[in-house]
Amino acid sequence: MINQKIKDAITNYSDELTALRRKLHSDPELSFEEVKTTAFVCAYLDELGIPYRKTEPTGVIAEIKGTSGGKTVALRGDMDALSVEQLNTHVPYASKIEGKMHACGHDAHTSMLLIAAKALSDVKDELPGNVRLLFQPAEEIAQGAKAMVDQGAMDGVDNVFGIHIWSQMPTHKVSCTPGPSFAAADIFKVHFTGKGGHGAMPQDCIDAALVASSFVMNVQTVVSRTIDPQQAAVLTVGKMEVGTRFNIIAENALIEGTVRTFNQDVRDQIETSISQYAKSVADMFGATAEVEYIRGTEPVINDTESANLVQQVAAEAFGPDVVYDEKPTMGAEDFSFFLDKAPGSFALVGSGNPEKDTEWSHHHGNFDIDEDALVTGAELYAQYAWAYLNK
């Protein structure tokens, strides 16, 4: 199942792999702004002689064609950074751009996929199929995968595989369990309208601050009292805007939050209940409520056959002890848009190492990765493609 030439090549390319990651980390770009990153990927693919096309506004679709028609497996690596100020500025590869940082590991994903492409290109004459390389923009705003799918990224693809560096797992460990991996992520907005007035004359007003506060306190019971406790669900109010001045009773209030689920029936129930709660609370105070519910990413559900193949590849490539059982996360991933088009799976590669201070949470200003994990990720990309095409 494992190709020794691929393993040896990635070992030989390990220094280059680290250098690629550091270059990308120092020059981060936000979602759909990855112009320089796209150009960097294209230049590297030119050196390898791998044909590609750019997607709009950013992103790259490339393909390594084997010797026969065969199947096509897609490998995805995302490229965008976050609006996060880097705090661990002592590292030599710290972000050069104020207020922007690769605080989620996408710099690692892009560099790992580039080196995997290099190793696969070395054995392309032995590939019994094709490997499509998806260098995806805008994962952080959950729009990049869909944009690539709309531009043909998954046309003719039989299977798709992605990786995320994971600081909450020990370095080198690999987790890819069948079934739910990342949750669906939705956004809700509630606008309450009351009747404003002087703070000294509440009898003449309908206080939108009071209405909104009551909603925030009670909406949590949507999960605790209407959803089966054996089903995972999270409802979080993250933003509340109300009032204009200390002595004016607020006429308007805006609440925004997120809902995370794995099950579609649970998702539907929460959407319905939020609207019911908002309108009931508003009626109780004599106010009105307008509710907007925006469905974002779908849940990432790993195909059983694909996830089992990842585990087999990881065990054979790195030893059986490397396989790790990480619980599903309520975090979101737009990789789900690729899985809508073909079966596949999404693996986590551990990069948490307390000795290197790389156990910070994703999206934190101190986030960093143990660069020893890069080789694990790059080889897992390449060996999975090899194993799938040779099944």
Which helix (H) or strand (E) segment holds residue 249: the answer is: strand 248-249
Q: How far apart are CA 72 and CA 63, in angstroms?
A: 9
Q: Is 4-181+299-389 assigned to CATH 3.30.499.10?
A: no
The reported pLDDT for the residue numbered 246 is 96
Mean pLDDT value of segment 81-102: 97
CATH 3.30.70.360 domain position(s) in the chain: 184-297
CATH 3.40.630.10 domain position(s) in the chain: 4-181+299-389
Q: Kindly list the catalytic residues.
A: 80, 139
Residue 68 pLDDT > 90: no
Residue 67 pLDDT > 90: no
Which CA distances in Å does 44 have to 5, 158, 184, 301, 357?
Answer: 21, 26, 34, 32, 31
> How sure is the predictor about 297, in pLDDT bands with cuts at 50, 70 and 90?
very high
Residue 1 pLDDT > 90: no
Q: Is the dihedral of CA 46, 48, 53, 58 positive or negative?
A: negative
Query: Does pTM top 0.85 for this prediction?
Result: yes
The reported pLDDT for the residue numbered 58 is 98
Quick: pLDDT tens for 187-220.
999 999 999 999 999 999 999 999 999 999 999 9
Write down the residue that tokens 């080198």 correspond to.
172
Quick: pLDDT tens for 238-267.
999 999 999 999 999 999 999 999 999 999
Regarding the domain delimited by 184-297, which CATH topology (the fold level of the hierarchy) does it fall under? Alpha-Beta Plaits (3.30.70)
